[in-house]
Amino acid sequence: MLAYPAELAEHWDAGGEALEIRPIRPEDAAAHDAFFHRLTPEDVRLRFFAAVRELTPAMLERFTRLDYERDMAFIAVRERTGETVGVARLVREDDPAVGEFAVVVQPDVKGHGLGAHLMRRLLEWAWAHGMRSVVGEILAENTPMLDLARFLGFRLRHVAGDPGVIEAMLDRPEPVAGPIVRAAA
Average pLDDT over residues 107-130: 94
Kindly report the CATH class assigned to 6-131: alpha beta
pLDDT score of 39: 87
CA dist 49 and 47 (Å) reads 6
Q: What are phi and psi for residue 62, nearest 5 degrees?
A: -65, -35
Query: Can you tell me whether residue 131 is helix, strand or coil?
Result: coil
pLDDT score of 9: 96
CA dist 146 and 14 (Å) reads 21
Q: How many CB atoms lie within 10 A of CB 148?
A: 19
First to last CA, the chain: 53
- pTM for this structure? 0.89
pLDDT score of 184: 56
122 versus 177: the higher-pLDDT residue is 122
The residues near 180 (Cβ < 8 Å, ≥ 6 apart) are none
Long-range interactions of 2-5: CB distance < 8 A, separation 24+: 2/67, 2/68, 2/69, 3/68, 4/68, 5/68
173 has a pLDDT exceeding 90: no
Confidence of residue 165 (pLDDT cuts 50, 70, 90): very high
71 versus 56: the higher-pLDDT residue is 71
pLDDT, tens only, 74-102 = 999 999 999 999 999 999 988 999 999 99
- The answer to whether 83 and 105 are in contact (CB under 8 A) is no
143 has a pLDDT exceeding 60: yes
CA dist 120 and 14 (Å) reads 15
Confidence of residue 46 (pLDDT cuts 50, 70, 90): confident
Written as one string, the DSSP assignment of 17-53 is EEEEEEE--GGGHHHHHHHHHHS-HHHHHHHHSS---
